[in-house]
């Protein structure tokens, strides 16, 4: 036994008077051995409580039952829905799900996570909400494992992806507010780079299509956090008042709304708020926040279907919808 | 190559004119081979892009760098802090973390998760917020892997655990409200069984110590969800009005508060609310909720320290504290 009290191949070798290499090969089902040797090793393994070496068998047979999900460790709450869908489907297909966290656009932690899973036997890798650079994409390609990206698009479509069209969502949120009579519309908490920055492009295009000028201070960059919402609201008040704001995430929306309320600005009477995502958070705060609701659960289902090759698959944008709640109202 | 386009041991054997068994042994570093054979296999493996078979090496050497975290899939938000702590420590110790979900008190899914990790090479298993029955405890014992339970206690201390003392937390929350002048105090959303049911025992003891009677309707059972808070509030209003309520989780607290507000009951003027956990949720709702705040991040750190055997270890209850916010006030 090793220092943890676990039975090792060495213990079985000692018990059976066989070499470690032979025991290893018998248990991993490689090489050829006579039936008596196989039986001897197997009996000892069972008797001694040696845990079946699933990884090794899987590595030889390439039939892993594990789906690896690498998910952004950015504090977002929508990934819960994506993971729920993956797990629901996994159980139905007798697969196991391992979840690993990695930084949103953090090459070191992404590389580490990818190496961790690709050096083991996995049936496929589902990447959730990660911005991948060329080096990481190359690493994934070299791993030769089925890969799909959810909630982000992929440059040059090296891998299939399932997400919502960020440009269209930005455009739709802006159009929704303009139709309510707003002209001074801000956008808050969105990073300047990466696929979700396209929401700003959609916002800009919609403003332009309605002949509305955008002031520089109306665009408040951030990283989708609650604190970004707090900071954006402070900046709006100091720099350039707006009557409506599009928030990068539900967290940004709540942070911005709480800060506005603290300043004595009434939502929605004096300020309209709409947030991207539409997770359960927008329903449990008061007032409830109007959202551009994405189909996160469906993204998870699509992702695992791709790994299982259930049907022909191309990258796609899933439909989104605007769900109106209490944080928006028409300007009279 | 297999159908996924991955290079296998078979491909390397073909390339090098060696047997599959030899290639397997060389790559797994078992058996003895002359330097030329080793070099031949290694060169081919590198040239062909064969991914190093870490699992097999780990299984032979019993030196896995993976910590498996099996976490309740009950919708709770405190496990995020525990997992963050584990991941922060893991990076510093050059370890990888795999997360798996299992039901809170669901034997089938727990057994599945434990088998999945124990059949592979893992350095240790950290169980978060799972209620384990005797069968599951036996299974874990048989796996012979280092195990620690966080956020639940373990019957007969078969494994070490780190959690908060549920009886004491229940007592302290009740005492806090009694000191504010409350006599009609409810407790909502707590399961009748399992370690957190001890919060009800602590509540009962404190009420008794203050010579206060408990009406049956004041105890509203549940499963720590937002909807349990909604339902409990409806039941209180119909059955037995209270002036203060202790909530099983932050989610229960928010659900109960929103429902009270909808009924026209003002928090804290007409109803005091205190919730267990004290996650970021209690700070982002309005009014902010007073909480019995647990040290979740510290639980994660203690858990991984145990796996790394950094110091002598016994099961322990971490201190908690009551953080007063806007949902409680004294009765004049």
- State the average pLDDT over residues A87-114: 89
| C-beta atoms of A144 and B51 within 8 A | yes
What is the C-alpha separation between A68 and A197, in angstroms, rounded? 27
Q: How many structural domains comprise chain A?
A: 3
User: Are A257 and A232 spatial neighbours (Cβ–Cβ below 8 Å)?
Assistant: no
pLDDT of residue B133: 86
Is residue A218 located within the same domain as residue A138?
no
Per-residue model confidence (pLDDT) at position B60: 47
Please indicate, yes or no, if residue A313 is contained in any of the structural domains. yes
Q: Is B322 within a domain?
A: no
Question: Is A327 inside any structural domain?
Answer: no
| B332, part of any domain | no
Whether B131 and B146 map to the same domain: the answer is yes
Position A110 in a domain? yes
Question: Residue A311: is its pLDDT beyond 70?
Answer: no
How much is the mean pLDDT over chain B?
88
Write out pLDDT tens, residues B43-67.
777 677 665 545 554 544 446 789 9
B157 and B171 in a single domain? The answer is: no
pLDDT category of residue A181 using cuts at 50, 70 and 90: very high
Question: Quick one: B227 and B189 in the same domain?
Answer: yes
Do A289 and A301 lie in one domain? The reply is: no
Tens digits of residue pLDDT in A30-41: 666 777 887 787
Q: Kindly state whether residue A220 falls inside one of the protein's structural domains.
A: yes
Domain termination site, one of A61, A78, A103: A61
The pLDDT of residue B29 is: 60
CATH, residue A14: 1.10.260.40
A158 and A175 belong to one structural domain: no
- pLDDT for A60 equals 47
CATH number at residue B19: 1.10.260
- Do A223 and A123 share a structural domain? no
What three-state secondary structure class fits A216? helix
In total, the C-beta contacts within 8 angstroms joining chain A to chain B are 149
Note the helical H segments in chain A: 9-16, 20-28, 35-48, 54-61, 79-92, 107-118, 134-143, 166-179, 198-209, 226-239, 250-262, 281-284, 296-307
Write down the ipTM of this complex. Answer: 0.80
Between A66 and A171, name the one with better pLDDT. Answer: A171
Do B284 and A285 make contact, defined as CB atoms within 8 angstroms?
yes
Of B55, B66, B116, the CB nearest to A121: B55
Domain with B281 in it: what CATH number? 3.40.50.2300
pLDDT of residue A159: 87
- Best of A13, A18, A49, A56 to disrupt the B interface (most B CBs within 10 Å) is A56
Q: Would you list the DSSP string of B51-84?
A: PP-HHHHHHHHT---EEEEEEE-SS-STHHHHHH
pLDDT tens, chain B, 332 aa long: 444 456 677 888 888 888 887 887 777 666 667 778 877 877 777 677 665 545 554 544 446 789 999 999 876 789 999 999 999 999 899 899 999 999 877 888 899 898 888 877 788 999 999 988 888 888 888 888 889 999 988 876 678 999 999 999 999 999 999 999 999 999 999 999 888 999 999 999 999 999 999 999 999 999 999 999 999 999 999 998 999 999 999 999 999 999 999 999 999 999 999 999 999 999 999 999 999 999 999 999 999 999 988 667 789 999 999 999 999 999 86
Interface touch A113/B96, C-beta < 8 Å: yes
Residue A161: pLDDT above 90? Answer: yes
CB burial readout B63-92, b (16+ within 10 A) else e: ebbbbbbbbbbbebbbbbbbbbbbbebbee
What's the CA gap between A186 and A244, in Å, rounded?
Answer: 6
Report the gap between the CA of A203 and the closest CA in chain B (Å).
Answer: 27
Token pair 């014992």 in the structure block, residue: B141
> What pLDDT score does B1 carry?
42
Say if residue A329's pLDDT is above 60.
yes
What pLDDT digit, counting tens, does each position of A217-255 carry? 999 999 999 999 999 999 999 998 999 999 999 999 999
Range of the domain at B55: 9-59
8 Å CB contact of A55 and B120: yes
Domain assignment of residue A133, yes or no = yes
CB contact under 8 Å between B7 and A144, yes or no, is yes
Q: Over 90: is that where the pLDDT of A12 sits?
A: no
Same domain, A245 and A222: yes
Q: What is the pLDDT of residues B265-324, one digit of tens each?
A: 999 999 999 999 999 999 999 999 999 999 999 999 999 999 988 667 789 999 999 999
Domain end (from A61, A76, A104): A61
Give the pLDDT score at B263.
97
Question: Ramachandran region of residue B145, left (φ > 0), alpha (ψ -120 to 50) or beta?
Answer: beta
Q: Which chain A residue is nearest to residue B307, measuring alpha carbons?
A: A4
**Confidence (pLDDT) at B8:** 74
State the alpha helices, DSSP H only, in A17-102.
20-28, 35-48, 54-61, 79-92
Residue B58 and residue A6: Cα distance in Å, rounded?
A: 13
A272 with A174, same domain: the answer is yes
- Residue A105 pLDDT more than 80? no
Instruction: Confirm whether A322 is domain-assigned.
Output: no
Q: Does pLDDT of A203 surpass 90?
A: yes
Query: Could you tell me if B70 and B144 lie in one domain?
Result: yes
Same structural domain, B52 and B81 = no
pLDDT the model gives residue B328: 97
Which of B42, B59, B76 is the last residue before a domain boundary? B59
Q: Is the predicted pLDDT of residue A2 greater than 50, yes or no? A: no
B37, B72: one domain: no
């Amino acid at each position: 036994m090793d220092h943890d009290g676990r039975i090792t191949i060495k213990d079985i070798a000692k018990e059976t008077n066989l070499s470690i290499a032979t025991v290893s090969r018998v248990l991993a089902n490689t090489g050829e051995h006579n039936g008596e040797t196989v039986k001897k090793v197997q009996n000892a393994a069972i008797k001694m409580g040696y845990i079946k070496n699933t990884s090794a068998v899987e590595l030889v047979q390439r039939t892993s039952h594990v789906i690896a999900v690498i998910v952004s460790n950015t504090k977002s709450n929508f990934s819960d829905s994506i993971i729920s869908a993956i797990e629901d489907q996994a159980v139905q297909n007798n697969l196991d799900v391992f979840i690993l966290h990695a930084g949103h656009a953090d090459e070191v932690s992404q590389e580490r996570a990818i190496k961790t899973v690709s050096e083991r036997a996995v049936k496929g890798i589902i990447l959730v909400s990660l911005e991948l650079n060329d080096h990481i994409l190359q690493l994934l390609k070299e791993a030769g494992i089925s890969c799909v990206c959810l909630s982000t698009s992929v440059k040059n479509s090296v891998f299939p992806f399932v997400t919502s069209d960020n440009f269209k969502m930005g455009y739709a949120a802006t159009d929704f507010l303009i139709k309510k009579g707003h002209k001074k519309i801000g956008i808050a908490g969105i990073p300047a780079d990466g696929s979700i920055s396209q929401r700003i492009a959609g916002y800009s295009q919609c403003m332009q299509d309605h002949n509305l000028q955008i002031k520089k201070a109306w665009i408040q960059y951030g990283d989708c956090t609650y604190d970004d919402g707090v900071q954006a609201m402070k900046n709006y008040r100091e720099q350039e008042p707006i009557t409506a704001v599009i928030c990068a995430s539900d967290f940004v929306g709540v942070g911005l709304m709480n800060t506005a309320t603290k300043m004595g600005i009434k939502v929605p009477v004096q300020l309209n708020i709409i947030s991207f995502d539409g997770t359960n958070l927008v329903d449990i705060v008061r007032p409830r926040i109007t959202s551009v609701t994405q189909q996160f659960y469906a993204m998870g289902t699509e992702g695992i279907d791709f790994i299982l090759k259930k049907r022909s698959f191309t990258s796609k944008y899933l439909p989104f919808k605007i769900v109106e709640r209490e944080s928006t109202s028409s300007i009279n």
